[in-house]
């Protein structure tokens, strides 16, 4: 919930989400092109070096995406913990004031 129409997410949050989005779309594109290239190889003799290169590129991109996802997840867990602690503190205060 936004406090006003001028409220904007923190720059660090925007950057975190942007980096994750880039990694995710890069992985999506690389998955498509890698599978197309593998399919184009057909069932004939394979070039092991090419297959290793394609697999290595895909694994690196997948690892990068997962690392960015973990950063987003960590941010979310920390933000939820901060919100939960603050709200539970406020609930406690209200309950104590009510007797």
Q: Are 54 and 37 in contact (CB under 8 A)?
A: yes
* pTM of the entire predicted model: 0.77
The whole-number pLDDT of residue 11 equals 92
Q: Taking residues 47-57, what's their average pLDDT?
A: 92
Per-residue pLDDT tens for 12-51?
A: 999 999 999 999 999 999 999 999 998 888 877 788 899 9
Helices 11-41 + 48-98 axis angle, to 10: 150
| Band (6; pLDDT cuts 50, 70, 90) | low
b or e along 54-73 (b: 16 or more beta carbons within 10 Å of the residue's beta carbon)?
beeebeebeebbeebeeeee
Domain ranges (residues) in the chain: 17-38+47-98
């Amino acid at each position: 919930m936004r406090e006003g129409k001028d409220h904007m997410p923190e720059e660090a949050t925007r950057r975190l989400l942007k980096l994750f989005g880039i990694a995710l779309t890069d992985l999506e594109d690389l998955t498509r092109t890698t599978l197309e290239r593998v399919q184009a190889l057909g069932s004939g003799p394979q070039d092991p070096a090419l297959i290793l290169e394609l697999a290595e590129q895909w694994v690196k991109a997948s690892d990068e995406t997962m690392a960015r996802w973990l950063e987003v997840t960590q941010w979310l867990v920390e933000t939820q913990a901060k919100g939960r602690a603050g709200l539970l503190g406020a609930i406690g205060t209200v309950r104590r004031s009510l007797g």
